[in-house]
Structure 1
Amino acid sequence: MLKEPLDLSKARILISNDDGIHAPGLKHLEKIARSLSKDVWVVAPEDEQSAASHSLTLRRPLRIRKLSRRRYAVDGTPTDSVLLAVTQVMKDHPPDIVLSGINRGGNMGGDVIYSGTVAAAMEATLLGIPAIALSQHIPPGGNPRWATAEAHAADVIRRVADARWPDGVLININFPDVAADDVTGVRVTTQGRRKPGGLIQEGKDPAGRPYFWIGTARAFADHAEGTDLETVYGGGISVTPLYMDLTHRTTVDALRKVIG
């Protein structure tokens, strides 16, 4: 991973997302990436893939559509897009860093498990490439303040790129729903606790058959001090390092004592 500071001005940057190749957030991220480097590539899903998580397409062929120079659409998931970008589109010169987003809506707490935006960064991490996921928080029924992310993202990315990340770590950045000038600061945070999909609506289609629709409301949120949730809801930018190894080491030791 990123064992030395990365000179972004000389870096080859790949950007992707889960909202699709035509999403406004992707256009804003392109602008941000081009302010960092002249070598920017875009490989993103053809259509919206929100909440696709780290899903990989195995039971049908995938197609890559070239839209313009260094800009491609993949008829698959965010994971498919990053995998094909690195192994096919950019195989002769892979990216130095992957930026995923800017997602329309925050990816905090349990969101990261479901998020296609975070999954794109996860795939890059598994391929040994430094990756950053970026999301713009919005309130229910609100509109994203893209200007806030656009005003602060380049600086935050530069500062993160000056750090050193161990293997298996990706960076998850969330921007608050406040005006750019009202951001209260940038803070390194831990992952909070909240679960998307808390409300399930039940109804019947025109044929009288019952259906269930999983909503985006949160069933549980814990804004504990120092978490991404507490920071973003307080008007700050959260920077959360996420670790790909899901093994719980303490439990490993406890189980070894009883299992041997």
Structure 2
Amino acid sequence: MRILLTNDDGIHAPGLALLERLAAPLAEELWLVAPAEEASGAGHSLTLTRPLRIRKHGPRRFSVTGTPTDAVMLALGHLMKEARPDVILSGVNRGANLGEDVTYSGTVSAAMEGALAGVPAIALGQCSAAPGTRDGVRWEAAEARGGEVLARLVGTPMPARSLVNVNFPPLAAEEVRGIKVCRQGFRDYSRLKIVERTDPRGFRYYWFGTGETVETPGHRTDLEVIADGFVAVTPLHLDLTGDEQLAALGARFA
């Protein structure tokens, strides 16, 4: 089993070191190719306007001066082109990748790039804890349950152009209630919170907040599963075609 590790928090992120520990028992060969610096929120962006550089940090360990997508593309198309990985693991992100955040997440986008290239891919995120904890993130849930999740997912057949998104709740290991497979959730962005403040020089600045979770019967989405104290495992597919609209639009253009 040859496993490629990447992330969007950068080569020196603690979540990447955690992922390496979790993946080691499953791999005969571990490769690490990650952004040189943090690229959170980069989404599925690709660097086209400047050259990229690769730095070697040790055997099968590299950083890339680009986005998470750049890192995966250089891994598959250059560094590992003679022996592609069997699976790509992206994370463990310092924060959640839930609901529509998957469209902004560099962590999930790195896994998407693997899926597009035909390599099974899994994204992992550790949800932030309550204010006042160190760095706002407690890694206990991912540390305790990540190995179990990966053991069940790695080697499991995945449909073409698909990936799995895993999120761990911000809880101590003993407080995690279990693991649930669930749908992607959505937030109501008509209630988006935008915080306006004034800096010491008297100029206004703004912080984006989040919308409110759209609740579903049975709490079936990743947002609700995490809120209920479970690990959320969500299969995602990259075919964005709106099947329910095909017939209606086809009739308009017939």
Structure 2 residue aligned with 1:220, among 206, 212, 224?
Answer: 212
**Match of 1:168?**
161
Q: Quickly say closer, same or farther: Cα 1:242–1:195, change in 2 above 3 A.
A: farther
Cα deviations by residue, 1:153-178 (Å, 9 ceiling, x for unpaired): 12111212353211111100000111
**Match of 2:25?**
35
Superposition pairs for residues 137-156 of structure 1, below 5 Å? 137-139=127-129, 141=131, 142=133, 143-156=136-149
**Match of 2:194?**
199
Structure 1 residue aligned with 2:115, among 116, 120, 125?
Answer: 125
Matched-pair contact (CA < 8 Å) for 2:140–2:171: no
Matched-pair contact (CA < 8 Å) for 1:106–1:135: yes
Q: 2 CA distance for matches of 1:153 and 1:139? A: 17
How many residues end up aligned between the 2 structures?
247
Q: Quickly say closer, same or farther: Cα 1:31–1:174, change in 2 above 3 A.
A: same
Q: Which runs of 5+ in 2 are unaligned?
A: none
* Pair 1:159 & 2:149 matched: no
* Pair 1:17 & 2:7 matched: yes
Tell me: higher relative CO, structure 1 or 2? Use CA pairs within 8 A at least 6 residues apart.
1
Q: Which runs of 5+ in 1 are unaligned?
A: 1-10
Q: Please give the secondary structure, in 1, of the residue aligned with 2:119.
A: coil
Q: Quickly say closer, same or farther: Cα 1:195–1:63, change in 2 above 3 A.
A: farther
Q: Please give the secondary structure, in 2, of the residue aligned with 1:110.
A: helix
Q: TM-score if structure 1 supplies the norm length?
A: 0.89
Matched-pair contact (CA < 8 Å) for 2:164–2:235: yes
Q: Please give the secondary structure, in 1, of the residue aligned with 2:11.
A: coil
Superposition pairs for residues 52-91 of structure 1, below 5 Å? 52-91=42-81
Structure 1 residue aligned with 2:182, among 183, 189, 196?
Answer: 189
Q: Please give the secondary structure, in 1, of the residue aligned with 2:99.
A: coil
Q: Please give the secondary structure, in 2, of the residue aligned with 1:30.
A: helix
* Pair 1:109 & 2:119 matched: no
Q: 2 CA distance for matches of 1:140 and 1:218? A: 16
* Pair 1:178 & 2:171 matched: yes
Q: CA deviation at 1:35?
A: 2.0
Q: CA deviation at 1:202?
A: 4.7
Q: 2 CA distance for matches of 1:12 and 1:104? A: 25
Q: Please give the secondary structure, in 2, of the residue aligned with 1:167.
A: coil
Q: CA deviation at 1:198?
A: 3.9
* Pair 1:253 & 2:247 matched: yes
Matched-pair contact (CA < 8 Å) for 2:23–2:150: no
Superposition pairs for residues 236-251 of structure 1, below 5 Å? 236-251=230-245
Cα deviations by residue, 1:86-121 (Å, 9 ceiling, x for unpaired): 111111111110000000111100110100000000
Considering only aligned residues, what root-mean-square deviation do their CA atoms show, in Å? Answer: 1.8
Q: 1 CA distance for matches of 2:46 and 2:196? A: 28
Q: 1 CA distance for matches of 2:188 and 2:31? A: 33
Q: CA deviation at 1:150?
A: 1.5
Q: 1 CA distance for matches of 2:69 and 2:200? A: 33
Matched-pair contact (CA < 8 Å) for 2:129–2:171: no
Q: CA deviation at 1:183?
A: 1.2
Question: Matched residues, percent identical?
Answer: 46
One-letter amino acid matched to 2:186 = R
Q: 1 CA distance for matches of 2:33 and 2:215? A: 34
Q: Please give the secondary structure, in 2, of the residue aligned with 1:163.
A: coil
